[in-house]
Amino acid sequence: MKVFRAVCLALALVACCAPVAWGEGFSLNEWSARGVSLAGGMVGRADDVSAIAYNAAGITQLPGTRTMGGFALISPSGGISTSYGSRETSTYTKPALWNAPHAYLSHQLSDNAWVGLGVFSRFGLGNSYSGDWAGRYNVYDIGVQTISFVPTLAIKLNDTVSFSVGVEAMNAHMYMGNKILTYNNGKKFDNDMQLEGNGWGYGAHLGLHMHLNDQWSVGLSYKSQVTMNINGDVEFAYQGNNAISKAKHLPEARNCGANTVLQLPDSAALGVTYKPLDNLSFEVGTVWTRWSTYNALNIYMDSGYNSINNKEWRDGWNFNGSVEYKPLDWWTLRAGFSYETPVVNESHADFMIPTNGRKTLSVGTGFNWNNWTVDLAYAHLWINSLDYGGTDAKGISPEVGITGGNSKDVSANIYMLSVGYTF
């Protein structure tokens, strides 16, 4: 009973600290310190309880009851240059340190059946700029926070093949702030508009793990689309009958309800693991994310104003490789590298996500004694520049005088800790 009370407390803490991070698109894979140090190379290995997030079929390799909990501290940085004819200005994001926690539990029911529960985040983003920066009419503050609850059943068909089925319940919290050009008694000024909402969506996870022999294993996993219906409110700093001009692209400055549909993509992952020695393993893998389903972010207000924001992103690929070496029974060393292809359509690029593909180099270490494990990881992300010269996004195009620009010096550092216990 103490075990399950402790697990419930850990899961509650995770749910209260839903993560915000900065990834390609806005998908996340900070699901365990070991997984991050291996650049996501846990689909073929899948041999600790965090496999519930990477490839849950792998928990059939875990006898007894296992738990794990931890967090990532994610520190993004970067800037955006904007052009006004021949004049250029530069703005940098506000310093931030985002927390992305995780928690897992697996339990063996019989020789062939396991159950598990994972609480982690598949998506998240956060960017904040000065309220008077050049791109404030597009956005100066944005956050999408998700937390997924995934109960899972895994079945071992034989000594080679296992599969898993999970049900995902995802909660999302979204907020956004931008400035609206406001007219009052013939005078022009910036009015502040804040949108905030919450919603739930549901999906499924599938996993397959094949332990071919003592040296080779293969993993496949699939996470379904999740459609988030987000309802909330829009508030203006200043309200009045003449607060906003009657132009069609500007809303009436009146507090009201709002709703949007956030279409979050499905993804499929493949990992192939080679273990030439008992204390040495390699994995190569790929993850495909169907970002082409994210074709718009349209916000509908009860005041009758609709904010139509085309996205039309392209599908993304992540290619990764990793190595894990255990020089001592109680000590493990890890390293990984991944490359992610760009997904943003620059014809509709905005300041919410100033990324255009990225590379990640990660290292980590692990310690184990008795029933405890402690894993540490560090990763650095190099994020490619995004060009705004041809975008039609609102608040960026010539309606506010911006004629071009690009993101620059965008990167992130990730520091991660996971602690596990076997009962």
For the chain, domain boundaries: 1-422
Instruction: Note the Cα 347 to chain centre separation in Å.
Output: 23
Distance from first CA to last CA of the chain, Å, rounded? 12
User: 1-422 adopts what CATH topology?
Assistant: Porin (2.40.160)
Give the C-alpha separation, 414 to 33, whole Å. Answer: 10
- pLDDT number for residue 185: 66
If one counts every other C-beta atom within 10 angstroms of the C-beta of residue 329, the result is 9
Task: Give mean pLDDT in consecutive 10-residue pieces for the chain, a chain of 423 residues.
Answer: 43 43 71 97 97 98 97 90 80 83 97 97 88 87 92 97 98 91 72 92 98 97 95 84 51 83 93 97 97 89 82 94 97 98 91 88 97 98 90 76 84 96 96
E-assigned strand segments in 134-266:
141-156, 161-184, 187-211, 216-223, 226-236, 256-264
Give the C-alpha separation, 115 to 221, whole Å. Answer: 17
Query: pTM score, two decimals?
Result: 0.90
CB 362 within 8 Å of CB 413: no
- pLDDT number for residue 240: 60
Sorted by sequence, the CB contacts under 8 Å of residue 298 that are 6+ apart come out as 260, 261, 306, 307, 308, 309
- pLDDT number for residue 181: 76
Sorted by sequence, the CB contacts under 8 Å of residue 289 that are 6+ apart come out as 25, 27, 265, 266, 267, 315, 316, 317, 318, 343
In terms of Cα–Cα distance, which of 352, 353, 356, 90 is closest to 195? 352
Give the C-alpha separation, 143 to 139, whole Å. Answer: 11
Could you tell me the two tokens for 394?
Answer: 């609102």
- pLDDT number for residue 16: 42
In terms of Cα–Cα distance, which of 269, 197, 264, 314 is closest to 35? 269
- pLDDT number for residue 92: 85
CB 141 within 8 Å of CB 176: yes
Please give the radius of gyration of the chain, using alpha carbons only, rounded to the nearest integer. 23
Give the C-alpha separation, 170 to 205, whole Å. Answer: 12
Q: What is the DSSP letter of 213?
A: S
Could you tell me the two tokens for 359?
Answer: 């590379």
Which residue shows structure tokens 């990167």?
411
- The helix or strand, by DSSP H or E, that contains position 33, with its residue range, turns out to be helix 33-37
Q: Given the DSSP bridges, would you call strands 280-289 and 299-301 parallel, antiparallel or unpaired?
A: unpaired
CB 56 within 8 Å of CB 152: yes
